[in-house]
Amino acid sequence: MSIDLFVVVVILAIFFDLINGFHDAANSIATIVSTRVLSPVQAVVWAAFFNFLAYYIFHLHVADTVAKTVDVSAITMFVIMAGLLAAICWNLITWFFGIPSSSSHTLIGGFAGGAIAHAGWQVVKLDVIWPIVAFIFFAPFLGMIVSYISSLALLHICKRTHVQKAEWWFRHLQLVSSALLSLGHGGNDAQKVMGIIGAAMIVNGQITTMEDLPKWVVIACYAAISTGTLFGGWRIVKTMGSKITKLTAFEGVASETAGAVTLFATGTLGIPVSTTHTITGSIIGVGLVKRMSAVRWGMTVKLLWAWIITIPISTLFGIIFYHLIALFK
């Protein structure tokens, strides 16, 4: 395999990670910006720091899962390149329209599309893909349930606390909850690019298993997603922070904590869930504590459709990009 081609793949992967950072920055900062605990600039710096700190906390469970979504015999540099181009394309489209879609799922879909174009549908490992697809629905539902329960618990604990005192505490606690959410974001989202680069290194004969992944790959991926987060994703922040339900510092703490719990749990299990889906479900959960009508269900349905079509469209993009790349082989 050409080293030059490998370098192109790594550059595309890091570029995707940068886009992932500013595309998914909204997941980490939308709640803390909308509650005005931090300014937008402070929020992205805060989130970027904890994105990078995830390097010292999380193991490579998610990276290993992403690398195994298709049969290793069907992975070539062109397949990986097609998957990355598909993911970059769909992420930029959804960012432009302010749609908080899943970067995790678009990368998996693009990767699968490239492999299908190269070797047929049979190379996709359905036993790996189906749990990921199931968590399109399960992750936001889990986030919603945890958020709903934690909101009720916090309300019970604070029922005799003066409103202004409680607000002061929650504004400070939200710094902690948003930090935990950013840790979960960094641990889950940066790892999928590690999985792609790891697959490329295996194809290139540089390593034999994901356990051999060199430190520079890990550091580069975390640094890229952190840098991308610093650019912010203001179109998506507006959607996440105000168009689903109105948030206070109390609700910010509950939703961010629920999102962090879900991300830590799924990251430990090696399931590459969507940070977007998780925090959206968590925000819906705090809205439901107030009343059903507090949630803007029209926007929620639009987001759900975006989530459902992400993998199929990314797969289609992967197929198209593979055939375009094949013209220049």
Average pLDDT over residues 112-137: 83
| Token pair of 78 as six digits | 């062109």
Residue 294 is predicted with a pLDDT of 62
Cα→Cα distances 67→40, 71, 199, Å? 34, 9, 6
Over 70: is that where the pLDDT of 290 sits? yes
Residue 157 backbone phi and psi in degrees, to 5: -65, -35
Q: What DSSP state is assigned to residue 209?
A: S
Average pLDDT score over the chain: 81
Distance from CA of residue 56 to its chain's centroid? 19
Residue 137 is predicted with a pLDDT of 78
Task: Give 150-194 pLDDT, tens digit per residue.
Answer: 888 888 888 777 767 777 888 888 899 889 988 888 877 777 888
Residue 304 is predicted with a pLDDT of 76
- How many angstroms separate the CA atoms of 254 and 290, rounded? 13
- How many angstroms separate the CA atoms of 131 and 137, rounded? 10
- How many angstroms separate the CA atoms of 144 and 244, rounded? 13
- 23 versus 94: which is more confidently predicted? 94
Closest by alpha carbon to 265, among 53, 62, 113, 93?
Answer: 62
Residue 221 is predicted with a pLDDT of 86
Task: Give 237-248 pLDDT, tens digit per residue.
Answer: 555 544 555 667
Cα→Cα distances 260→2, 16, 125, 142, Å? 41, 23, 28, 11
| Most confidently predicted of 80-89, 159-168, 306-315 | 80-89
Q: 115 with 124: CB under 8 angstroms?
A: yes
212: which residues sit within 8 A by CB, 6+ positions away? none
- Looking at the DSSP bridge assignments, the partners of residue 124 are 70
- How many angstroms separate the CA atoms of 278 and 273, rounded? 8
Closest by alpha carbon to 28, among 293, 322, 279, 327?
Answer: 279
Over 50: is that where the pLDDT of 226 sits? yes
Residue 223 is predicted with a pLDDT of 86
Amino acid making up residue 222: Y
DSSP-derived secondary structure for 266-297: HHHHT----HHHHHHHHHHHHHHHH-GGGS-H
- pLDDT exceeding 90 applies to what percent of the chain? 14
pLDDT classification of 278: cutoffs 50, 70, 90? confident
Q: 300 with 99: CB under 8 angstroms?
A: no
Task: Give 22-71 pLDDT, tens digit per residue.
Answer: 777 666 677 777 778 887 778 878 888 888 888 788 776 666 666 667 77
Residue 274 backbone phi and psi in degrees, to 5: -90, 125
| Token pair of 119 as six digits | 């070797």
Residue 241 is predicted with a pLDDT of 46
Average pLDDT over residues 301-320: 86
